Every structure is written in structure tokens, then in C-alpha cells.
A and B are shown apart, each in its own frame.
Chain A
Amino acid sequence: MNEGTGIRDYDWWLLTLILAICGIGVLEIWSATHASHLAGMHWKQTWWIALGFGLMLLLSRLDYHSVLDKAPILYLIGIIALLAVLVAGNTRYGAKRWLPVMGEFLQVSEIAKLIIIVSLARFFAEVRTERLAVADLCKAAVLITVPVGLILLQPDLGTAMVLVPVVVVGAYLAGIQWKHAAVMVLAAALMLPIGWHHLKPYQKERVTTFLRPEEDPKGSGYQILQSKIAVGSGGFWGKGLGHGSQNQLGFVPVRYSDFILAALAEELGFAGVFVTLVLYTALLLRLIQNAQHAKDRAGMFLVMGVAAILGFHVLVNVAMVIGFMPVTGIPLPLMSYGGSAMLFVFLALGLVMNVRLRRFVN
């Protein structure tokens, strides 16, 4: 559509990193499920990746400015969808998160993430001051509080948490003042006990077992312990694909999804983990680089919103696998099995690609 968006202008490095990570993910999903009743899951994942890849390319053709222009409408649609899921959503695992769309169950909060990235990018891009004023900060806070509140009602603490770094990174880049930041941190600290009071029992349990996992080896501490056993027993070179006992015998919880890195760590060892984490770091650094080269502030905020949300996913998930963080249900982007999450990541990367293609000011 626009001039100067030829094949060569795509970020081939980014595409390579994405496909490499997806490849490792599919491989490990195959290994984790091939001998169980879940066999064939890697094919489904491959289809999701192909679909996501297509959507990403499609989205990259569309000028991101037109997307940003429609941000208020998208925001409204997002809020309505979140309300809809609360009213008519499909309940699974005790939470309303899914809306039936075209035969598949779509996790609405994944779309909401995307909309919030776009909305915040637009908002921060329009703040033209060098320093972020209190009024703007408050506006940003309101902007984010509504969807986060709705997501918390589902309840989905994990997704709600994931949205926070988008604001934090955005505010930081928009030039938040130290004293404002300090006040917000303080306020958050004061909110913590109240928040704790409103946590569901299983969520409280997750936090307490995270702090003392050995006290309850087969309750909720079980997952962390089994994950650590899987990781630790992998050693340097791992037990080989398909040979991890923790993985193959089902000791690692949801080994194809949230704990896929534990399965990988067991079978491919520290070497495999090292390669994977280096790939993720390279991916995220590449995103930041793309942000630096963006044509305008809006593009920069858009890319950094994506980087913040993906980076948070990666860091929290990896930390959980080795017991540095409680179990939160945050998947590892591009590797964990799951259609909605996969589509979200590709669409987000589509936005990045979009900014990248239009990085040269005409």
C-alpha cells in the first residue's frame, strides 16, 4: 500500500529469531506429548504458527497509523468484549475467559492486551511534553484500570499483571518524574495488603507455596518442585529429546504449555536453555532496536509496548520454571502451546513489523 515496503525491508533477523523459537517450541511439544494421549499436538501448534505468521504479514501491510487512528474505537470494542465474556463467557478451570468464535474458544483478554498496547501507544505519543505531567499520568492510569479491573473480575490475575509493564515502560519512556514514580510505588505497596485480601484462596496458596514450596510437596508446591526436579536433573547436556523422565512420565505439570521450558531444560540441559534464552534476549533486543529506529514516537511506543509485554511474559515464565516466582499461569511466548496466545504474539509482532517497514521518513 505504502511506498518503500519491499521484501528487503522486512526485518529478516526478527523473522529468523521468531521461527527459531517457534521451531524449538514445536520440537519440545512433540517430545512432551508424542507418547501420550495428547499426541499430535505439535501439528496443531504448527497450524497456529502458520496462521499467526500469515496474520502477522497481513497486519504488517496495514499502516500502523491507521490502526492508531482507530484506537478509541478499538478500546471501546475491547471493553465491550471483556464485559461480554463476563456475562456470556465460557467457564473453564473456574474462570470466565473464553468466548466462542468460529468454533474455537477465543481468549478475549489476549485481544485486550493488543488493544491496550495500541491505546497506550496512541496516548503516550500524544503527550508532547518532555516530562510526564501528573494529569497525563492519571489519564494513563484510568485508561489501564478499566480493562485491568475487568480482567481481574474473570478472574485472571496473570493477564492483568502482564498489562502493568506496558504502562510502566510507556510512562518511563514518556519521561515520568522520579517523585511521581516513587509515589506510585508507595501507593502500590500500600495497596498490597488490600489486594491480598481480595485474592482467591488458590492464588494465596500459590504465593505461600512459592515462598515455602517444601511444606506441601504434592499440593500446589508440587508443580514448582517437579519443575525444579525436571530442570535440575537435566544437567548440562540434558537427557535427550523424548528421554526426560519428569517430562515423559507426566511429573512436570502442563509440560507442553506453561512449563515447556522445564521440559526443555530436562531434555536439552543447560545447553538447550542457554540457546533458548539467548534467542529470546536477541529477539527482545531486536525489538528495542526497532523501537529506536521507529519513524515517530507513536511507532516507538507501539514497539516498546509489545517488547514490554513479551519481555514480561518471558521473564516471569522462566523465573517460575526455576522457582524464582510463584505459579501465575503466564505462558512462554512463541513456545507454549495455545492458539489465542500464539495469535496475540504474532499480531503484536505484526505491529512491530509494520513500524519497521515504515521506519524511513519520506
Chain B
Amino acid sequence: MRLTVISYTLVGLMALLLLGFWKLQIVNSDRYTQLAERNRVRSIPIIAPRGAMLDRYGRVIVDNYPSFSVLLLRDDPQQVERLLPQIADGLSLTLDDIQQQLESVKALAHFQPIVIKPEATPGDIAFIESHRADIPVLEMLMVHRRRYPHGGFMAHVSGYVGEVSSDQIEESGGRNRPGDIVGKAGLERQYNDHLMGVDGMRRSVVNSVGREVGRLEQTDAVPGKPIRLTIDYDLQLVAEEALVGKKGAVVAVDPKTGDVIAMASQPSYDPNDFAVRISKEEWQDLNEDQERPLLDRAIQAQLAPGSVFKILMSTAMLESKGVPADYHVFCPGSAEFYGRVFHDWDAKGHGEMNLHKAIVHSCDVFFYNLGKQLGIDRISFYAGNLGLGHKTGIDLPGEEPGVMPSAAWKERVFHQKWYPGETISVAIGQGAIAVTPIQVAYMIGGIVMGGRFHQPHLLLSDKPAPEIDFPISDSTVDTVTEGMYGVVNEPGGTAGASKLPGIELCGKTGSAQVISEQGLKRAGKQSALKDNAWFVGFAPRQNPEIVVAVLVQGGEHGSSAAAPIARNVVKAYYDKKQGKIPPQQLTTQAVPPGVPPSFVAAAARNTKPDAGAEETVPTNPAPVPAKPQPVSTTPQSTAPATRNP
């Protein structure tokens, strides 16, 4: 009897245990299957390389190099916590640093690994490999690091990449995920969707101590697509080198298409520093630097154009017919308007001036009178239609619109009446007026093209760029062109020193007072008060092919500081066109990462700031022996070209 009781008890208990198995294996099987998968499968992303940036001839300007990042797998927070001191020690990081990083990703799901050291040294790699068993939470991630030209060349155009911000994730509509590397500035940002690839995933089987024992199917990364730029890197180098050590910008545009052939801004920063994670301090330094290296002066410096504006005044005069075409003024060196004396830059005076002479000699008194005759609204109308006061629409983020004042503008912004005296200042490009170098190039290009304005762009395309037509009569174009030709080529022209034998360089100088630029006031008093030097030039006289706008902040005289730079760019353009110089090999790309600041910058810093004088263009540096190029259109030798024989 008692044995029967025991038998039933046994069967009952066995049934209960079977029920337990039923619950685990049948009812909750899916959940445990998932857990088992998570145990055995480790997913490591395969980073898709970003597309390269090529110049208009297909030469590589920006590309990638392979590198390793150290990943921390956080599936098991307690294990990570326990191993932290060892990890910190092995990777030569501070415990605080790692903990801070972990703190910052607290909201992220645990199964997402994080990068704790972006650039792994060979020592780090050895450490990870030899501690696979006891520190299974470290993994190496092959990444593609961005490689930019050295010396900060073209930095503002290329921009840089960085870890995606939460705002960008939202903007992207699900395309970007936390930890992704995306374009943060410049073309990297503008064409991010094109440049950025789609990351793949490598899935491997790991055992209970984290050792990889097999591979599962992997999704390959889809590389980003390259972009071909309108930039001619030979001209870009000339522009950059001419600007090194100065503060300003160079923009070279093909007025027939809107192609930006060169675009430089200095002082610059090295985007290679951003390719690996940038420290908070470095970033702060860059932002607080009084020289403002992060500012892309080509599209963001909004400054008074000075005498360069006289070209617009001339066009407005001829087109509006507000004064007769043979309008002339006697210049005694100053003139009085509305009870105030306005001085000419040349106190001796220019004598009898017509429009042509006034452009050539940049006579202020002539344009004071002209401004008074035309009135601010008419000037403003033409300025607006010829590209000032609004963005050109170049394919770069952060372009500034500048300011073109008018009576209505003043009423709207300051709720004040326009004083006629202000018109006199605006007539020579001073006062409230502010333009960017790209606007100047755009405006002059449009005027000399007879009123056909091509939207400036950096992406080389078969399709013509959007065009705005504001027809300007041939006679006006001729008169303005002749005047600008005279500036460089006639005796007494303000840019006579920049004359180029055999090349019909036309241009206009400008020296603008900086009182309107508040930003500079923070800089030293001396340099803050120095005039900004402008020059805008084009060539040839008929059917121009290249427009170059140059700004040198604190350069004082457009003729000596800005004009020679434009001249060098135009000369290089012609030299190249006539086959006098072989196209450059892009030596920048052969430089391994981590090479100290380029020889160029160092050498240029030593040259005197008044580099405007003749024959002081730095020669091509070629910082390290050039290696064979990944992509190059030229079979030419790598010997540095001399542009100033």
C-alpha cells in the first residue's frame, strides 16, 4: 500500500517536471531561441568607405586609409565594469575617460558596441588579440579614415566628417544611426548622402569565452560614391599657397558655366585632425581662435567691398541711363555732400574724370557724384539683380547672404530713415554694404557675361547650372570691360603692377575700411584698423574664361595685397592651358597620416606678410617624396612645377 503511494508520488513529480520542460521548450521556446542566438552570434559592423573627392581631372583630393578602432562590446555591463581597469591599462586610456564615454551612451541599447578608442596602435591590437579569452569584450573594427590634403588646403571646401549628432539623425529620417560617421561641414556635409555608403554586418559565432569559432553569412558594405569636383587642383594649390599666412579668401570661377575652379580660405584648420575623434579642448580652441580658422571666408566673410563695388556702380550708371554716358566730374581730391567732406583716396585729386578713367584710377569723387545722381534705391535695385545681398546658391552649407542696403532695408531693420549722405559712402562700397568673395566673383562673372549669371557650384556636372538672366547691353559690358582692362594694363591703373605679358587680365582693386566689421575689433588694434584688400579680375577681355575674386583681410591695398594673388592664379591658368606647366601630382595623397604639419605651411609662415610684392610666390613644397598615386590622370613626373620662372 505504502509502496503504491510512493509510486504515484513519483509519477506525479515526473509529470510536473515534464510540464516544466513543456513550458520551456514549447511555450517559451521562441524567447529562449533568441537568447541562444544572442549568446552565440556576435555582430560587428563593416564600415562602408566614403566616396572619394576628385578634382575636375579625376585626381584624388580626398580619400580614405584603413585603420582600426577599438570596440567595446557592452552586452554584459557587469563584466565590462569588472574589466575596465584592465582595459584602461592595456589601451593606455584613463579609467575616467572610458567611464565618461560609457556614461554618454547610457541611453543606447546594450547590444550596440561602442568605439572607445578610434585609432588603435599596433600595441593596442596586440593587447586585444592576446586577451581574447580573459577580456572578451574588446573587438577591433576596421574603419576607413578620411584623408584630406595637408596644411589645411581646401579644408573649407572639403569640410570634414564626424560622429553623427542627434539632430542629424532626426534630419536623415532613419538613414543615419548613432555612431555613424557623417559629413559635418563643407562638401562632406552637402553631398553626404552621395558620399556615404551603407555599412554591412559581419556576424560570427563565438563560444562561451568570447572566442570566434565560425563565421555566418555577412552583409557586405556598399561603398559610398565618389564625387567629381569642378576644382582644378593645380589652381587650387596656387590659390592656397598664395594665401598661406594671410587672412582671406580666393575664389576662381568659370563665368560661362559657374564651375568653381579654385576656392581657398585662410587661416585654415586641418580636417585630418577631425578624422580621428577630436578632443573637446582642440575643438574649443578652434572655435575660440580669434583668427577664426573655421570660418569659410570665401562664402562667409561679409565685408564691405570697397572700390570693387565701383564696377556695379558703373553698370548701374550705364544701364539705368540715370546720367549720360559721357558723364564727367572734376576730382580735386575731395568733395562736399550734405555738409560733410568726403575724401578721395588720393588727396592730390585725379583731375577731369570720365567713367573709364574713374574705373582705371578708382576715383572716389567721381563715384560719390554718381551715387548722388543715381540714388540708393536705383543702386540697390541693380546690386540685387547683379547678385549682391542674397546667397549665390553655391553647393556648400553655411553660405552668407551679405547685405545690400536700401531705404526700405534700413526702415525694416533699424526703423530709421535713410540719410542721403549714406548713399555717398555706399557708392564707393563702404557703409552698411557687405559682400562675400563668392558674391564678388559671381557678380563680375555675370556682368562680363552680359548679364548671364550661372549659379556657382563645386560638383562637376554635365547639366548646365541654373542660370539667372538680367540682360546687360553689349556697350555697357564693353565699357566696363575696357575700364577693368585699363586698371591692370593702362599707365596709372591701380593694378598696373599685376600686368601679365601676353594675357589680357582685367580687374578692379578695392581697399575697404573695416570699421563695419565688428569681429575684427576683438583682434589686435593695429591689424583691426588696417583696410581689407580686394581684387576681382578676369581674363581674357573677350569671352572671359576665368574670374578670380581675392580678399586679404588687413591687406591694406588691393593693388599690392590682393591683385598679385589673382594674377598668379590667372597666370597659372594660362600656363597650364598653354602646356607650360605639367599638371600636379597630388603629393598630398601620398603623405601617410600623422606626418607633422606640412612643409608648405611652415615655409609660408616664415615669409613676410607683405607678400603682395612681385616674385614672392612660394614655390611648390613637395613635402615628402611622392609615391605612385592611386588615381592620376597624368603620367608626368612628380617633379615640383615652378610657376614663377
Interface residues of A (CB under 8 A from B): 169, 172-173, 217-218, 226, 228-236, 245-246, 249-251, 265, 269-270, 273-274, 277, 280-281, 284-285, 288, 291-292, 304, 307, 311, 315, 318-319, 322, 324
Residue interface bits B323-357, CB-to-A below 8 A is 1, else 0: 00000000000000000000000000000000000
A173 touches B24 (CB 8 A): no
CA distance A233 to B40 in the complex (A): 12
| Residues of the B chain whose Cβ atoms lie less than 8 Å from the Cβ of A270 | 21-22, 25-26
Majority SS at the chain A contact face: helix
A232 touches B11 (CB 8 A): no
CA distance A304 to B4 in the complex (A): 12
CA distance A322 to B19 in the complex (A): 10
| Residues of the B chain whose Cβ atoms lie less than 8 Å from the Cβ of A234 | 25, 29
Q: How many residues of B contact A (CB 8 A)?
A: 35
Known contacts A236-B25, A269-B25, A250 near B209 by CB under 8 Å: yes
CB contact between B17 and one of A217, A245, A315 (< 8 Å): that residue: A315
CA distance A232 to B206 in the complex (A): 20
| Residues of the B chain whose Cβ atoms lie less than 8 Å from the Cβ of A233 | 29, 32-33, 35-36
B39 at the A/B interface (Cβ < 8 Å)? yes
B17 touches A235 (CB 8 A): no
A229 touches B32 (CB 8 A): yes
10 other A-B residue contacts (CB within 8 Å) besides A270-B25, A273-B21, A322-B21? A173-B2, A226-B208, A229-B32, A235-B33, A236-B29, A249-B40, A270-B26, A274-B21, A291-B3, A322-B17
A228 touches B36 (CB 8 A): no
Closest-CB distance, A21 to chain B (whole angstroms)? 14
A229 touches B39 (CB 8 A): yes
A315 touches B7 (CB 8 A): no
Closest-CB distance, B593 to chain A (whole angstroms)? 39
| Residues of the A chain whose Cβ atoms lie less than 8 Å from the Cβ of B213 | 249
Residue on A with the closest CB to B40? A245
Q: Sample 12 A-B pairs with CB under 8 A, ordered by A number.
A: A169-B6, A172-B6, A231-B21, A232-B24, A235-B29, A245-B40, A251-B39, A274-B18, A277-B18, A288-B6, A288-B10, A307-B6
B78 at the A/B interface (Cβ < 8 Å)? yes
Shortest 4 CB-CB contacts between residues of A and residues of B: A232-B32, A233-B36, A250-B208, A249-B207
B26 touches A235 (CB 8 A): yes
Known contacts A228-B24, A281-B11, A324 near B36 by CB under 8 Å: no
CA distance A195 to B177 in the complex (A): 55
Known contacts A236-B26, A269-B25, A246 near B36 by CB under 8 Å: yes
| Residues of the B chain whose Cβ atoms lie less than 8 Å from the Cβ of A291 | 3
B76 at the A/B interface (Cβ < 8 Å)? yes
CA distance A319 to B18 in the complex (A): 10
| Residues of the B chain whose Cβ atoms lie less than 8 Å from the Cβ of A251 | 36, 39-40, 207-208
A324 touches B7 (CB 8 A): no
B20 touches A229 (CB 8 A): no
CA distance A230 to B29 in the complex (A): 10
| Residues of the A chain whose Cβ atoms lie less than 8 Å from the Cβ of B11 | 281, 285
| Residues of the B chain whose Cβ atoms lie less than 8 Å from the Cβ of A269 | 25
| Residues of the A chain whose Cβ atoms lie less than 8 Å from the Cβ of B26 | 235-236, 270
B13 touches A315 (CB 8 A): yes
B40 touches A277 (CB 8 A): no
CA distance A261 to B54 in the complex (A): 63
| Residues of the B chain whose Cβ atoms lie less than 8 Å from the Cβ of A281 | 10-11, 14
Closest-CB distance, A169 to chain B (whole angstroms)? 7
B10 touches A231 (CB 8 A): no
CA distance A169 to B22 in the complex (A): 29
B131 at the A/B interface (Cβ < 8 Å)? no
CA distance A231 to B27 in the complex (A): 12
B39 touches A319 (CB 8 A): no
B39 touches A318 (CB 8 A): no
Known contacts A249-B39, A249-B205, A270-B25, A277 near B6 by CB under 8 Å: no
CA distance A277 to B31 in the complex (A): 24
CA distance A319 to B17 in the complex (A): 7
CB contact between B36 and one of A245, A273, A280, A311 (< 8 Å): that residue: A245
Closest-CB distance, B24 to chain A (whole angstroms)? 4
Residue on B with the closest CB to A235? B29
CA distance A269 to B26 in the complex (A): 9
| Residues of the A chain whose Cβ atoms lie less than 8 Å from the Cβ of B31 | 232
A229 touches B36 (CB 8 A): yes
A265 touches B40 (CB 8 A): no
CA distance A288 to B32 in the complex (A): 37
| Residues of the A chain whose Cβ atoms lie less than 8 Å from the Cβ of B37 | 245
| Residues of the A chain whose Cβ atoms lie less than 8 Å from the Cβ of B22 | 270
Closest-CB distance, B77 to chain A (whole angstroms)? 10
Known contacts A265-B21, A280-B14, A288-B7, A218 near B39 by CB under 8 Å: no
| Residues of the B chain whose Cβ atoms lie less than 8 Å from the Cβ of A273 | 18, 21, 25
| Residues of the B chain whose Cβ atoms lie less than 8 Å from the Cβ of A315 | 13-14, 17
| Residues of the A chain whose Cβ atoms lie less than 8 Å from the Cβ of B29 | 232-236
A172 touches B25 (CB 8 A): no
B79 at the A/B interface (Cβ < 8 Å)? yes
Residue on A with the closest CB to B18? A277
Known contacts A288-B7, A292-B3, A231 near B206 by CB under 8 Å: no
A245 touches B205 (CB 8 A): yes
B634 at the A/B interface (Cβ < 8 Å)? no
Contacts of B291-346 to chain A: CB distance below 8 A: none
| Residues of the B chain whose Cβ atoms lie less than 8 Å from the Cβ of A292 | 3
| Residues of the A chain whose Cβ atoms lie less than 8 Å from the Cβ of B33 | 232-233, 235
B94 at the A/B interface (Cβ < 8 Å)? no
A277 touches B39 (CB 8 A): no
Residue on B with the closest CB to A284? B10
Closest-CB distance, B18 to chain A (whole angstroms)? 6
B25 touches A249 (CB 8 A): no
Contacts of B549-584 to chain A: CB distance below 8 A: none
Closest-CB distance, A13 to chain B (whole angstroms)? 15
- Tell me which of B76, B208, B209 has the highest count of chain A C-beta atoms within 10 A of its own C-beta: B208
B290 at the A/B interface (Cβ < 8 Å)? no
B208 touches A249 (CB 8 A): yes
Residue on B with the closest CB to A303? B3
Known contacts A230-B36, A277-B14, A322 near B7 by CB under 8 Å: no
B17 touches A304 (CB 8 A): no
| Residues of the A chain whose Cβ atoms lie less than 8 Å from the Cβ of B28 | 232
Residue on B with the closest CB to A237? B25
Residue on B with the closest CB to A233? B36
CA distance A326 to B452 in the complex (A): 86
Closest-CB distance, A176 to chain B (whole angstroms)? 10
CA distance A53 to B205 in the complex (A): 41
B25 touches A218 (CB 8 A): no
B18 touches A231 (CB 8 A): no
| Residues of the B chain whose Cβ atoms lie less than 8 Å from the Cβ of A228 | 24, 32
Closest-CB distance, A291 to chain B (whole angstroms)? 6
CA distance A344 to B7 in the complex (A): 23
CA distance A288 to B5 in the complex (A): 11
CA distance A187 to B443 in the complex (A): 102
CA distance A232 to B11 in the complex (A): 23
CA distance A230 to B40 in the complex (A): 12
Contacts of B528-548 to chain A: CB distance below 8 A: none
Residue on B with the closest CB to A172? B2
Closest-CB distance, A212 to chain B (whole angstroms)? 15
CA distance A232 to B2 in the complex (A): 36
| Residues of the A chain whose Cβ atoms lie less than 8 Å from the Cβ of B13 | 315
CA distance A234 to B33 in the complex (A): 8
Closest-CB distance, B168 to chain A (whole angstroms)? 35
| Residues of the A chain whose Cβ atoms lie less than 8 Å from the Cβ of B76 | 217-218
Contacts of B133-183 to chain A: CB distance below 8 A: none
CA distance A318 to B14 in the complex (A): 9
B36 touches A265 (CB 8 A): no
A218 touches B79 (CB 8 A): yes
Closest-CB distance, A270 to chain B (whole angstroms)? 4
- Tell me which of B13, B18, B20, B36 has the highest count of chain A C-beta atoms within 10 A of its own C-beta: B36
| Residues of the A chain whose Cβ atoms lie less than 8 Å from the Cβ of B2 | 172-173
Closest-CB distance, B82 to chain A (whole angstroms)? 9
CA distance A214 to B18 in the complex (A): 23
| Residues of the A chain whose Cβ atoms lie less than 8 Å from the Cβ of B209 | 250
